[in-house]
């Protein structure tokens, strides 16, 4: 029943209903386009949602990185192992009466003779 009425309105015999139907469709299309391209319209809502999702993902990565750094700080505060490791590796320090050998990674030149 409704299908026949819709076809009648669209393709003829609609009388006053046919122009009203097309003006309604035109009005809805204009409203949709205006709300889509407006500065604070539907399109901007979708863009902000995507940006928010990306920012939340970045925040999760930063929180994980911060937790790793906090764990390193706790380890340094609580124990001496990491402090000693950093002192030896980064600052090239050694304990008293300890002998440290340093090896360079230089390649021998062509003129050098090695047995």
62 versus 108: the higher-pLDDT residue is 62
pLDDT score for 98: 82
What are the boundaries of each domain within the chain?
Answer: 8-37, 40-94
- What pTM does this model have? 0.43
Please choose, from the candidates 23, 40, 21, 41, the residue with its C-alpha nearest in 3D space to the C-alpha of residue 32. Answer: 41
What's the chain's average pLDDT? 80
Q: How confident is the model at residue 112 (pLDDT cuts 50, 70, 90)?
A: low
Distance CA 65, CA 47 (A): 27
């Amino acid at each position: 029943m409704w299908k026949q009425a819709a076809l009648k309105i669209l393709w003829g015999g609609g009388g006053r209903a046919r122009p009203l139907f097309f003006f309604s469709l035109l009005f809805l299309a204009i409203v949709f386009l205006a709300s889509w391209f407006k500065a604070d319209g539907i399109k901007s809502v979708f863009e902000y949602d995507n940006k928010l999702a990306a920012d939340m993902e970045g925040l999760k990565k930063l929180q994980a990185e911060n937790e790793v750094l906090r764990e390193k700080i706790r380890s340094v505060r609580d124990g001496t192992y990491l402090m000693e490791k950093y002192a030896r590796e980064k600052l090239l320090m050694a304990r008293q009466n300890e002998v440290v050998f340093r090896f360079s990674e230089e390649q021998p030149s062509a003129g050098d003779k090695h047995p």
